[in-house]
Amino acid sequence: MRKKVMVIICATIFLVAAAVSFFKFTYAGQSFIYKTFGGNNLHLSSGDKELYWFDVWHSNDPGDPMFKRIESDFIKFAPDLVLVEGGFNTFEGNRDEAVLQGESAFATYLAKQSGVEVENIEPSYPEQIAYLQTKHQPEMVLAMYLIRDICTKADMPVDMDFDLNAYLVKETQTLVEDGLDVGANTLDEILSIVNSYLPQKIDADTWRNAKGVSEVYNKESGVLYPVYNDIYLFRNIHVVELIREKQSSYSRIFIVMGGQHLIDTKAQLQKIYGAS
């Protein structure tokens, strides 16, 4: 009996390892994951006006089939305007550099290579900060932005040369220039604010493997969730109004942005394009 149990355990471990290898290291496996959890693209049309929202997951893996899908759909759709999130419409660089920066930078690369106009789909940071500071303390706003970006970097499948300390100082300076009324200037002051909202302190050596970091902003019970949720809703309102505005000037709008935003704005976009 004990021997049979051991055989079953060993077989289970082997199958799990094989499944992990298939989904992580093969094109077919990655493609299956993408089809299952992504790829719910939205195509709307009204007369000679069309919108194509490519449903992405955040990745910077050159082997990710999503990038080939973005390029293929971009070519087929032939947009006259591309909208991307995160301010990546300012990206300048070659194809490989674009992929390593993620899907928004890659879409910007494709647009610029084709001579297509590309813009940021999100409200500017001064607009975001001005709005958030009417509802939240500047220290909470700072912590939310920094912790959110740290988690995004940690989740990227391809490790990039990311200096946490330099990032914290530079990003805080940028946010202050954009209107954030926070007095933190030194690395120690900034880390002190960030760590005051985390279940365990992070530093340049531990940030990638720290537990529970994202939960402080992306779960309803998280201390920074109210800040995150407010700006998320604010961004969605801006997205809908921007598309409504751009529809009058552009015939074919191609969007590359996270899928949850698509889910939450889909009904409003369908109304803009006369779809049910």
pLDDT digits (tens, 9 = 90+) for 73-130: 999 999 999 999 989 999 999 999 999 999 999 999 999 999 999 999 999 999 999 9
Lowest average pLDDT, out of 76-80, 141-145, 181-185, goes to: 181-185
8: pLDDT confidence band, cut at 50, 70 and 90? low
Contacts of 112 (CB under 8 A, 6+ apart): 92, 118
pLDDT of residue 10: 54
Taking CA atoms, 145 is separated from 69, 127, 150, in Å, by 30, 14, 9
CA distance 224 to 127: 19
Q: Is 208 helix (H, G, I), strand (E, B) or coil?
A: helix
Count CB neighbours of 129 within 10 A.
23
- % of residues, the chain, pLDDT over 70: 84
DSSP 8-state secondary structure symbol assigned to residue 131: H
What is the model's pLDDT at position 172? 97
In the predicted structure, residue 12 carries a pLDDT above the cut 80? no
Residue 159 pLDDT: 64
pLDDT tier at 22 (50, 70, 90 boundaries)? very low
Q: Which pLDDT value is given to residue 58?
A: 83
In this model, does residue 276 exceed pLDDT 70?
no
pTM: 0.80
- Which one has a higher pLDDT value, 57 or 242? 242
**Res. 208 pLDDT band, cuts 50 70 90:** confident
Terminal Cα distance for the chain, rounded: 60
Q: What is the pLDDT of residue 24?
A: 44
If you average pLDDT over every residue of the chain, what do you get? 88
- Dihedral sign, Cα of residue 74, residue 77, residue 79, residue 82: negative
Asked if residue 239 has pLDDT above 50, the reply is: yes
Residue 91 contacts residue 109 (beta carbons within 8 Å): yes
Mean pLDDT value of segment 236-261: 95
Model confidence at 14: pLDDT above 60 = no
Question: Does residue 250 carry a pLDDT above 50?
Answer: yes
- How many whole angstroms separate alpha carbon 148 and alpha carbon 185? 20
pLDDT reading at 71 higher than 80: yes
Sheet bearing 117-120, strands edge to edge:
42-46, 49-56, 252-258, 81-84, 117-120
The count of C-alpha atoms lying within 13 angstroms of the C-alpha of 192, restricted to the half-sphere facing its C-beta, is 8
- DSSP label at 245? H
Backbone angles phi, psi at 84, to 5 degrees: -130, 160
The tokens describing 190, both together, are: 């900034």
C-alpha distance from residue 71 to each of 59, 74, 77, 94, 233 (Å): 15, 5, 10, 14, 29
